[in-house]
Structure 1
Amino acid sequence: MPPSVTTDSEVPTLPPLFSDEKTSTINDTTTTTSTMKPSQEQEQQKQKQQQQQPRINPSRRQTAPPKLKKPVPHYRHLVRPTGPPESDEEAELNADMGLVREILDLFLNGQMVEAEQKLERQPKRMYFQLARAIIQGLRALVTFHPDEIEKGMKAFEAAIKASDKQRKGSLVGVGAVKAVGSFVVGTIGAGSFRSMNRVQKHAELVYAESTILRSLLSMLYHIDFWMVFEECINLRHAFTIIQGLKSFMDATEQELRSGKPIEKHKIDEHLVSGVTLSYSLYNIIISFMPDIIVKMLQFIGFPSDRDWGMAMLAACGGWDPTADADDAAARKERLASSANDGLRRQFCDMVPIIFQFIVSSFIPLNHVDYHFAEVINLYNLDRFPASPIFGFLQGRHCQLETRLDDAVATYTALTIEPEWHHLGHVAVFEELMCAMMTRDHDKACDKARLLLKGSRWSKSAFRYLVAITGYERGLTAEKKKVESVMGKVEEGMQKVAGMHLFFETFLARKSKRFLNEGGRLLLPSYDFMLLWNCFDMMPLKDLHRALDEISEQTDRLRQLLPAKMAERERRDPLAAKDQTIEAAGSNGGNGLLGGLLGGNSAKQALLRDSVVSGYTNFYDDYCLAFFLQGIAAYHIAYFPEAEHDPAKAQLALTAFDTVFRYAPLINDDTYTYYFAHYYKAKARIHQGDLDDAHARLKHLLSLSSTGLMGLPQLVGGKGRNSLELFVLLRTHSALIEIDTLRAARGEDTPTAANSFRSPSVLSFATRASKK
């Protein structure tokens, strides 16, 4: 059972490991010295914030739609009957697109083998080649095998060659030299596309799409810098084509508004859905990159507006997030609409669904609307009732709403042909996650073994899952097998774009810990669930059970805390500050804790006092246990649409403070420190203390290394945080959330007094890393 929690005034925060009577940084009582009491004004402000805390937690599943900075084009209105074909090439194009639409319908409805067989019987013209390449590209992604990736690249090369033959003469042959020139010239103008016939416009679109997808596969496959550089140039050139097509459609839209006839342009639903999909994806994907990279890309002409890109995709299907769901008549009319015939229409629908149901679990989005995404998904299920893709997304929606039984039933009911069993492993993995959340160790172990046997995604991850689920099951007969599988985790690591996957690095380090400590690992399932953000998907009853199990471990570990360390806590019951990097930076210390103590002898005394005999990584486990306790308590306290639990909210903050206190003694698991800052900032956002949340998040960003995507080492020069990118993306998202809340309140940005002193922190971290 978790320890009892009293009110805010009764629960003292844990003291720092070392006293410091100079200045404090971010803390809950905001003092200028260790002996000063909070001012009356600060106490009143704290009480006011607590009074503003709603009794019922707001939903995280449906938030207000964004306010767009510019109008969204509705290119569907530009579609006109194309009339009789003007040439044999156009007649051939019409027939090809009709057949590809039939093949796509078969594929989306689960008849994948029949779709492939029908496609193979078709000639090697551009749309058939593009369809073959997309199917092979999907196979490469679900198998993640180098041979399949190489086949996908070759298939897209074939599509590029087929489309290049039908492009307009003046643009044919634009290779690397002209692609480099496109950086300077900018984009192909709308006038260039006015002079093209319908076949040539489609050839440009297919050429650009094939170039983009081939380049992305190539960057996954190759590790050579110059190859990656060349693919970036190709991406830029492909964008000039997409942007030119968009400019052409914008100009046509202006003609329509001015009353001019637009039939002569022969814009069909296939072209509309293609331009919408490609241009929107550029906006969305670039928006997730770090600010400095976004500014560089914007400087050379790339767009970056995620909300606008999502709205553009919705407009392609005629979806409106503010409108009521379709009734039976409206849904029937939508199904009969000619807009459904666009070859990329279903992909335009998939993107917002995937972002809402999958991406939002890893990178918190600021405008979430699961209901809107479900409306789009149900429409596609009406059209493709046997679709494994849309069926999986429906199960994912159940999972996000913490309806785990419904999610598992949906995944189990999916029918996937044996030739595409790798696609079915996506659902098997989610079933595994559901079993781990509900603590069904037998089922979790069975699913993990199934994935290890049949999937090629990540042998490292699946070996680790087999090991920890067997370990959690606790069968003596399986002990040797668990140790054997755990010993093979590191050798299963793979590289993507020349780099190890961050989660495989994380798991390899955990497997080493397991082996070095004689087959012992603390709460491995809950630790792994952090990677997939499973705490957001756990029902309230399972969160309470998780908190009970984790709190048993915090109680056990507290009993192992050396007596002299416990005495340090009793001597100084009130924390002057969080015991973290920023405190060391303000004192100008050298190396591990030196600046806090002012001398090497005191440092050595502390290290002697902190030793736990026979437990090398005690403080890694100690901080991990309290961190997991904080996460479980946080999610209970702020469970959406449930009554707010202030006791659990305070327990979460106290647990995170414990992590801050003992973070300097961590050997490996530095991620607990960074994540504790992130979750404490999220708690402050819930409490309405945006200044503290903003300062804490800016502090995390101030620790970014010169690699742009990383967080540095802790005070003692520890190993890098293998989950740094994960934290960084979430931090950026939380800062946007704060900006949105400030704008709604009409507030200004935080004052300098509420910010971390990042220059001194960064300089100290740099000095420490060189020691």
Structure 2
Amino acid sequence: MTEDGSSDEEFEDAATTLQTKLFDTDGYSQEVSKGLEVLQNAVKLVITNRYVEAEAILRDKAKDSLYHGVGYALIVFIQAALSFDRESIERTHTNIQQALELCNKHRRTTNMWGTLSGMWYGKRLDGYSVVELHAEVFYAECSLLEALLTFLQDESLMSFIRAGLKIRNCHSMFKQCHSWLEEVNTTSSQQSATSPAVIDKHFVSGVHLGVGVFNVVISLLPGRILRLLEFVGFSGDRILGMRLLTSGYHSNTCHSPLCSMSLLGYYCVIAPYTGFGAYEDLSIPSDILRVQLTEFPNSGVLLFFSGRLALLQGKVDEAIAKFLRSIEEMSQWKKIHVIAYWELMYCYCFLGNWRAAAYYADLLYNNSRWSKATFLYQKAAFLLMAKRGEKNNPPVVGNDVPSFDATDDEIIEMMKKVPTLKQRIAGRSLPIEKFAINKAERYLQGEAIPLCGLEMVFAWNGFAVLEKAQHLAKLHLATVWECVTSTVEAKAGNNGPTDDHCVISLMQGLCFKSVGRMEEATRCFEDVTASAARLQHDHYTPPAACWQLGLLLMEEGKYDLASKKLEAAKSQYKGYTFENRIHFRVHAALSAIEKQRSHK
């Protein structure tokens, strides 16, 4: 199984190979041609911020037309997923069920012998019509939407089990469809003379979208999860996934925009948060955005991704401008504003403008239902950072810079409210909420919780941005130094200061690493790992420091030592906050080492 990335040229070569081995048809019926035309127009309307019009051209025939029904289900799913609104989720469930019924209506029906034969030998491609093939791939796509919606709709353990089974079934359907494409490639388009199969580019791109997304997502998972998934039939090859998505992006079909959004989502959002972004080529999303923004210069979604790309390049001010413009352009779809609020919140964290960050945390708290405990804790933490840092870093003021303020008593009230907002999903609370609640309760007990805002930056892998903006990293290093000089560094006996010391040393090491002071960073991280046995609360700091030591060894080209240190970060520490996040990032680093070794 391959774990590493690939170049742009490899993607283009793969796309060409995959497409030239397949054949198309011009013999669409009027119903199919019209349905595809409306579906593609609706997707373009969504990209150009005209969501109301997109819904309007799909809604009337959503119960009767395969293409209208699938397109409408996709649009309402996106709205429900972003809003977390219970009523929207219920309506979306109904729309997806209608789309699935339409897909079933157009799928190939088989008798009992055909069903048994398919279970044993797999379904045969012979004799499928264009509509039947479209219905197969649309059914798989809508099944995936239904499974994902189940996670949002019901927080019970049984709900998660049902959703997992649906995703497995969906994965199997995409694999079946992909096997048909391989069958066509193998036979070089030589089909049965009596019942020729008709493969068209919309079906092909739909298969590439589904199989591509599954392969990319599964390949990101840490080894312990991946081994379990492979045991039950899942597998992940990131190079194959990227090739298929790139092929779909270049196909000029109804799935092309979704393939391009999947690629942008991976490079600009998923890879950076999971740690893979440090090893990816940003010229690929840059090329996609250059082409897409030339055609759709005012697209709110594309402007959002453009802002994310600027942020990953360390251009924080440019990113803020892109996110603000994204919000302005998406006036018809205010529910999607929350994703831009989130990015703006952390942009101002990077700038050290904690009051502006608190302003956007407050907007998220009031406008999103995802995790109010996290939003409220972030607001309180950013305000604490602002109050503690005003001596050396006065707040930025101006008509174009938002700000939020609160008294000490109001911050205490926020911290008191955080534990009351805890959610439970499948009987368990979100790890980030556990962290926020633990910190809030410790603050109320009189603990200092130093650098609480920078801790949240670390939680979302934000130091990867500061490494690209060293002038901002220096600003935060000054804040950390102030904290070092004002905090009693107890080495034993007093649990609170020992935990505080490890948090401060970890943040200091991350800042040193961001500005290129590697020896000082190493000493900070080693100090943290040496203090592991004395910690009472912040048990995430030693494995995080161990992971960072592995990265420092990687930068020196000491791959054997780096691998040992990274494996230690993965295996020597258990049951701490951010464990899954650190395992993802360790997995990314180990994959990068494997890639470097293979290129020697």
Normalised by the size of structure 1, how large is the TM-score? Answer: 0.69
Moved more, 485-494 or 269-278: 485-494
Match of 2:308 in 1: 396
Residue equivalent to 1:765: none
2:56 is equivalent to residue 117 of structure 1: yes
Look up the match of 2:71: 131
Specify which of 720, 723, 728 is matched with residue 578 of structure 2. Answer: 723
Q: Displacement of 1:75 after TM fit?
A: 4.1
Does the 8 Å CA contact 1:633/1:652 hold for their aligned counterparts? yes
Query: 1:236 corresponds to which letter in structure 2?
Result: R
Q: Distance in 2 between matches of 1:71 and 1:106?
A: 30
Higher relative contact order (CA 8 A, sep 6+): 1
Alignment match, 2:512: 633
Q: Percent identity?
A: 23
> Alignment partner for residue 680 of structure 1, among 549, 556, 568?
549
Shift of 1:63: 8.5
Cα contact 1:188–1:241 (8 A) shared by 2: no
Say if 1:357 and 1:665 are closer, same or farther in 2 by CA, change over 3 A: same
Secondary structure of 1:456's match? coil
| CA distance in 2 between partners of 1:463 and 1:64 (Å) | 42
Q: CA deviation at 1:376?
A: 0.9
Structure 2 gaps, min length 5: 391-404
Matched residue SS, 2:577: coil
Provide the aligned length of Structure 1 versus Structure 2. Answer: 574
Contact 1:132 1:155 in 2 (8 A): yes
Check the 8 A contact 1:82/1:266 in 2, yes or no.
yes
Q: Is the 8 A contact 1:193 1:201 kept in 2?
A: no
Counterpart position of 1:29: none
Q: Which has the greater radius of gyration?
A: 1
Q: Which amino acid aligns with 2:540?
A: Y
- Segment drifting more, 347-356 vs 487-496: 487-496
Contact conserved, 1:75 with 1:316, CA < 8 A, in 2?
Answer: no
Q: Which has the larger share of helix?
A: 2
Residue 258 (structure 2) pairs with residue 347 (structure 1): yes
Supply the distance in 2 between the matched residues of 1:186 and 1:464 (Cα, whole angstroms): 54
Aligned equivalents of 1:313 and 1:64: distance in 2?
14
1:383/1:256 Cα in 2 relative to 1: closer, same or farther (>3 Å)? farther
1:668 is matched with which residue: 537, 546, 555? Answer: 537
Deviation at 1:172, TM superposition (A): 10
C-alpha separation in 2, matches of 1:354 and 1:171 = 41
Which of 627, 652, 658 is matched with 2:527 structurally?
658
The within-5 A match list for 1:157-176 is 157-170=97-110
CA deviation after TM superposition for structure 1 residue 660, in Å? 2.0
**Per-residue deviation at 1:288?**
2.6
One-letter identity of the residue aligned with 1:116: E
CA distance in 2, matches of 1:257, 1:193: 12
Gaps of 5+ in 1: 1-61, 319-338, 566-609, 638-647, 704-710, 713-719, 746-771
Q: Which aligned pairs between 1:670-749 and structure 2 lie closer than 5 A? A: 670-703=539-572, 711-712=573-574, 720-745=575-600
Distance 1:171 1:457 in 2: 45
Moved more, 727-736 or 621-630: 727-736
- Compute the displacement of 1:213 (Å): 1.7
Counterpart residue type for residue 599 of structure 2:
A
Q: How does 1:277-676 map to 2 (within 5 A)?
A: 277-318=209-250, 339-340=251-252, 342-365=253-276, 367-414=279-326, 415-474=328-387, 478-517=407-446, 520-538=448-466, 539-557=469-487, 560-561=488-489, 610-612=492-494, 617-637=496-516, 648-676=517-545
SS state of the match for residue 379, structure 1?
helix
CA contact (8 A) 2:310 2:318 kept: yes
Q: Give the distance between the partners of 1:676 and 1:112, measured in 2 at CA.
A: 45
Structure 2 CA distance for aligned equivalents of residues 466 and 187 of structure 1:
57
CA distance in 1, matches of 2:599, 2:196: 46
* CA distance 1:101–1:511, shift in 2 (3 Å): same
1:513-572 Cα deviation digits (max 9, x unpaired): 111116x33111111100122211121111111112112222333xx345xx5xxxxxxx
**Deviating more after overlay: 387-396 vs 355-364:** 355-364
Q: Which has the higher mean CA deviation after the structures are superposed, 194-203 or 146-155?
A: 146-155
SS in 2 for 1:537: helix
How much does 1:151 deviate? 2.7
Rounded Cα–Cα distance in structure 1 between residues aligned with 2:164 and 2:365: 35
Q: How many Å separate the matches in 2 of 1:433 and 1:96?
A: 42
Name the CA distance, whole Å, in 1 between partners of 2:579 and 2:461.
15
Helix, strand or coil: the match of 2:275?
coil
Cα offset, 1:312, TM superposition: 1.6
For the 8 Å contact 1:188–1:243, the answer to whether it is kept is no
| CA offsets 1:370-419 (integer angstroms, 9 cap, x no match) | 11111012212222222111110001110000011111111111234445
Amino acid at match of 1:503: I
Amino acid corresponding to residue 287 of structure 2 in structure 1: V
Q: Retained in 1: the 8 A contact 2:191–2:197?
A: no
Give, in whole Å, the separation in 2 of the partners of 1:523 and 1:633: 15
Cα 1:484/1:413, change in 2 over 3 Å: same
Distance 2:113 2:269 in 1: 39
